[in-house]
Homo-oligomer: A and B are copies of this chain.
């Protein structure tokens, strides 16, 4: 955020603003604007004005489905970054606008400096843009005044004022023609705010999104309504006994946080990076560089990274559920779904918060207060340690406590809450953490005991009439690493067993490293777990003093591969999850693994189709795509709200530095503060 907005967002921010910008020297020149800064509220307003001028509301039916920074070309950003200690030049400032305009999707590029439309293309391909919050809100309220629906509710003896409805993307299942529609399902909130646990199973509606009218209505099965009992999760409504109990805890940073925020640029310890926001992706981390103490310079690591798509297919093929195969970024907007973080619970006491902005469907800016928190984590672990007892008469114990910097956003897409962490480690690692929590999507079913279930129920019986349906979560990260420069290669350091057959050793075997550099995209499609290998992005043009390739390696986390058939429609659309790892040549237009227009997409514009070109990727500016997956078999502990399930992966320097980059890190000063008073 810029100017006034930044200052207003948090009084703590003001403090950082006024303090000196950076304490160590050779970092990129940082003025008030970074070329990758997200659009400001006033820029959103400008965009709106410019587009509305072309398409006056009096004549056109126009909604803004997506407005974001149209990123400047990489060379412009890099050139700006390299200009130290000089006033920032005028930078291009453009917006990409996707509108629904008289029932067509338009991709409009707006230049904010010239206040003009640069280009305006009608999109003729398959799929529709991001769903807006506004149209979903309107759509989900339509049933409440729709006679047949009101009758259905009455027939069930329920009270309309206790009904709320929400929206579900419909997917694509081979239909030749389709309209821009959304499904509506409804829930009963009598006695609980946990709507997801009380579905009015059997009732569904289809809303035409361009008309915002009900197009279809179904009232099929009459299935018992799951009870409200046990579904409440608000503390204020719980009854004793409470527990377990925790003692109080407070953290104090006598000198304040160790990081500095200048606009959207965050510097901390040996890291400097840019934190942006996109209504579709959520957090965008760019131009992350790490200071090399030995070389006395910052070195590039990550040009740009974000969650490109999140594919959540449910595993119930029946009429009421088969279409539930969601793309949470491309359909619902992972950024748009960001929720205000709660101080002291979502983030610790020492966190600093940042707001974020996106455009509503009429183009006006919407503020998400406390969309991000940034904090130093003193987890109580060792960054490195060693105790030496082998030297007679000496006992050496050297331990450096670990301090990490975490950037967090929580995206709540309907029922599920995703806690997204970017964790920077002074050792050069970046850990990408995901916590899955929130509420399950359950199906009403006529069972109170699993003994009654005679055929596949497609899930776990969690409570009376309540099935937690099996599903997956696949998060696909876009990782444009620039390892010490733009031209990189992807190397598989395969661990290969060698037999000793010549009696040269008492051993019969060992393993060694056989490196394989991926020449083209097909060499870099990897299903993890099949073959032991270290996967490294190297800079083939630079070597360490002993001659090793400078690199960063991927340390995978929980590995899950899709189990849907490759010819099944949802999997065709989600084919980017067919491999855990892909590498593509950098292409500014290839950002969204599931395609630009994901709602009702047909899988013709995905990472999987782009890669069919099998382009060269050796010694080129390349992008690593990593998919982290979860198969979720719900269990009763997930009811009525799910304890966080965490996973993640790590990018770790591997011969990037000449030696341990935190060897000469001093432990943080530790002050015993016995005299704390309230």
Asked if residues B403 and A246 are in contact (CB atoms below 8 Å), the reply is yes
Asked if residues B250 and A252 are in contact (CB atoms below 8 Å), the reply is yes
Asked if residues B507 and A249 are in contact (CB atoms below 8 Å), the reply is no
CB nearest neighbor in B for A666: B242
Interface: A559 (CB within 8 A): yes
Distance (Å) between the CB of A487 and the closest chain B CB?
Answer: 20
Interface: A497 (CB within 8 A): yes
Asked if residues A633 and B248 are in contact (CB atoms below 8 Å), the reply is no
In angstroms, Cα B397 to Cα A162, docked, is 20
Interface: A150 (CB within 8 A): no
- Among B255, B323, B342, B401, contact of A399 (Cβ-Cβ < 8 Å): B342
Asked if residues A644 and B381 are in contact (CB atoms below 8 Å), the reply is yes
Interface: A293 (CB within 8 A): yes
Query: Which of A250, A317, A530 has the most chain B CB atoms inside 10 A of its CB?
Result: A250
Residues of chain B with a CB closer than 8 A to A656's CB: 637
Residues of chain B with a CB closer than 8 A to A166's CB: 390
Interface: A114 (CB within 8 A): no
Asked if residues A643 and B339 are in contact (CB atoms below 8 Å), the reply is no
Interface: A238 (CB within 8 A): yes
Asked if residues A546 and B317 are in contact (CB atoms below 8 Å), the reply is no
Interface: A613 (CB within 8 A): no
Residues of chain B with a CB closer than 8 A to A230's CB: 659
Interface: A110 (CB within 8 A): no
Residues of chain B with a CB closer than 8 A to A235's CB: 398, 664, 666-667
Interface: A676 (CB within 8 A): yes
In angstroms, Cα B497 to Cα A425, docked, is 39
Chain A interface size, as a band, is 35 or more
Interface: A270 (CB within 8 A): yes
Interface: A454 (CB within 8 A): no
Asked if residues A671 and B250 are in contact (CB atoms below 8 Å), the reply is yes
Asked if residues A384 and B642 are in contact (CB atoms below 8 Å), the reply is yes
Residues of chain B with a CB closer than 8 A to A653's CB: 635, 637
Query: Which of A387, A451, A498 has the most chain B CB atoms inside 10 A of its CB?
Result: A387
Of A116-124, A564-572, A585-593, A594-602, the stretch lying at the interface with chain B is A564-572
User: A345-B667, A671-B248 known; A660 and B644 CB under 8 Å?
Assistant: no
Residues of chain B with a CB closer than 8 A to A291's CB: 243-244
Q: List 25 A-B contacts (CB under 8 A).
A: A164-B392, A193-B396, A242-B666, A243-B665, A244-B662, A247-B669, A248-B254, A249-B251, A250-B672, A318-B504, A339-B387, A344-B670, A346-B382, A385-B410, A386-B412, A390-B414, A427-B637, A427-B643, A447-B546, A450-B548, A470-B512, A506-B569, A559-B559, A673-B677, A673-B678
